[in-house]
Amino acid sequence: MNIVIPLAGNGERFKKEGYTTPKILVDVMGFPMFYWALRSIKPLLKKSSPIFVCLREHLKTTDLKRKIYEYCPNATIIECNTPTNGQAESVLQAQLFLDENKPLLIFNGDTFQMAPNLEKSIMDADEKGVVFTFKSENTAYSYVEMDQDLIVKRIKEKAVISTNASTGLYYFTQTKRFIDYTIQRLEQRETNNEIYISHVIQDLISNGDVFLGSEVETCFPLGTPTELKNFLDEGVYSV
């Protein structure tokens, strides 16, 4: 399985709150933020080495590279000269390092989730993709609409079409399908708009691919200072 963790964002909302450390390195209970994303998918990291897509600036001016290797000694690190227009484009930066015939797992670096049945959810999907979800009505997230068999009928960015929000963890049965449809999205856009993973999944669904929704036990997005505070206020998750 290919595992890609895009870390090439600017973290503007943290900058506006006075943070000088890149968001992914912000201290969260003694660990950099991206550690909590790695902890979320720990069982899968025992079988596949992750690929991190990072900003060159962060790699050159911080200890990000050292931290990545500390937690994932066999990781591959891809450098981006400038911020990408969304996670889908970030994943494309790793294309040369991906086996296009293998499945693909994408997870952002600013979310902590607990999914005890993570591996089982993927195995039980039986040649279907998986969108991992949690309950929410926050308009900041993407949402999936599912049928009674948990098959995703629609996925919509920043539109509450259900109470099933995406955790930001996505499983694709074939890397090549993701790459092809992401490139197609990039070629068709008329402006420099951000390309979300949800856009690519919706295109795949519209062309016959099947995705299942799988609800996790707990999910804490950490992408804004407010979300980080909410997580810290919980104070019940040991490292």
In the predicted structure, residue 203 carries a pLDDT above the cut 60: yes
Residue 187 in any domain: the answer is yes
pLDDT at 59 (0 to 100): 97
236 domain-assigned: no
CATH of the domain at 38: 3.90.550.10
Give the confidence band of 1 by pLDDT, cuts at 50, 70, 90: very high
Q: Residue type at 46?
A: K
Asked if residue 43 is part of any domain, the answer here is: yes
Q: Is residue 11 part of a domain?
A: yes
Across the chain, what does the average pLDDT equal? 94
Q: What is the pLDDT of residue 142?
A: 97
16 assigned to some structural domain: yes
The two tokens of residue 220 are 């804490």
Tell me whether residue 239 is in a domain.
no
- Which residue reads 């069982």 in tokens? 43
Q: What is the mean pLDDT of residues 25-29?
A: 96
Q: 176 vs 19, 62, 89, 96, CA distance in Å?
A: 38, 33, 14, 12
Reply yes or no on whether the pLDDT at 239 is more than 60: no
- pLDDT tops 90 at residue 193: no
Joined tokens for residue 127:
């040649």
Average pLDDT over residues 176-185: 97
> Would the pLDDT of 83 be above 90?
no
Containing domain of residue 101, as a range?
A: 2-231
Q: In which band, very low, low, confident or very high, does the pLDDT at 194 lie, cut at 50, 70 and 90?
A: confident
pLDDT at 236 over 80: no
- What percent of the chain has a predicted confidence (pLDDT) above 90? 88
In this prediction, residue 85 has a pLDDT band, given cuts at 50, 70 and 90, of: confident
pTM for the whole structure: 0.95
- 190 pLDDT exceeds 70? no
Give the span between the Cα atoms of 220 and 45, in whole angstroms: 20
DSSP for residue 172: E
Give the number of domains in the chain.
Answer: 1
State both tokens at 44. Answer: 């899968």
Residue showing tokens 């499945």: 103
Does the pLDDT value for residue 11 go beyond 90?
no
